[in-house]
Amino acid sequence: MAAVSTSLASQLSPLRFSSSNSDTSHSLFHNVHSQIRLASSRKVSRGVVAMAGSGKFFVGGNWKCNGTKESIAKLVSDLNNAKLEDDVDVVVAPPFVYIEQVKSSLTSRIEISAQNSWVSKGGAFTGEISVEQLKDIGCKWVILGHSERRHVIGEDDQFIGKKAAYALSEGLGVIACIGELLEEREAGKTFDVCFQQLKAYADAVPSWDSIVIAYEPVWAIGTGKVATPEQAQEVHAAIRDWLKKNVSSEVASKTRIIYGGSVNGSNCAELAKKEDIDGFLVGGASLKGPEFGTIVNSVTAKKVAA
């Protein structure tokens, strides 16, 4: 595991954005700084998969509030016809109203996730979806703590931790999202924010066996801006180090830490090469079957040519 400094204030390095609109983003964010020191790289033996953790590569597609019956049928058809690498866990999260349609027509190679769940057993909670209902229709996973739930809906760390604990206790896997706002990164608080969010999960969950951590810097979600591979690796290594120090070495090794934030077919391979990036949570590009297949198959970039 790459060594990571926990001294925040004095470890400033330039934040470089990778974007399809690179001239604009470089000009706009030229003076933005991150507080994370570049983690030292680790050499990997040839012919092995370059992963700091021991878990299987994981790629999730978050379809968010997108799609119609017709467009989703086309997307499912594309996914069914895609040739996907075997050594990847693949999950998609359709809107609630289309879960049954997707579950009944999508290859069993790809598991189904929900995008949210309620904090306890169902009942008089208008507009909510219970874990029990999700399990009843065949969901295996749920995305919790996404920035849109935190910053648009207003869910706080403790509430999200309780939701994760309940979902896990009822047998759903949890894709546990964390990540900082642009102003928090500019202020040198990336570690502080991510660790606080991690602690809320750690304080609540009964086990880490069915948790995948998704680091999604909020400034990169849906903006076309993506952290450079080095920046993403820095934070992922810090997350793994936090787990080692605050939970256990075993959990740090076993827990998959995936990256999200404008991941696409063009940038996924370079990101996947980093040892602490164990996969991706994909937004817009997951609505395009062939491109999502490319992202899934970026696991091949992890493999060092023998």
Q: For the chain, percent helix, then strand, then coil, each to nearest 5?
A: 40, 15, 40
Residues 6+ apart with CB under 8 A from 269: 298, 301
Catalytic residue among 111, 146, 184, 186: 146
Rg (CA), the chain: 18
Q: Catalytic: 291?
A: no
Domain residue extents for the chain: 56-116+127-303
Domain 56-116+127-303 in CATH 3.20.20.70: yes
Q: Which of 111, 216, 275, 291 is catalytic?
A: 216
How many residues in total does the chain contain? 306
Active site residue 216: yes
pTM, full prediction: 0.84
Tens of pLDDT along the chain (306 residues) come to 444 433 333 333 434 444 444 343 333 333 333 333 333 333 333 334 457 766 899 999 999 999 999 999 999 999 999 999 999 999 999 999 999 999 999 999 999 999 999 999 999 999 999 999 999 999 999 999 999 999 999 999 999 999 999 999 999 999 999 999 999 999 999 999 999 999 999 999 999 999 999 999 999 988 888 789 999 999 999 999 999 999 999 999 999 999 999 999 999 999 999 999 999 999 999 999 999 999 999 999 987 522
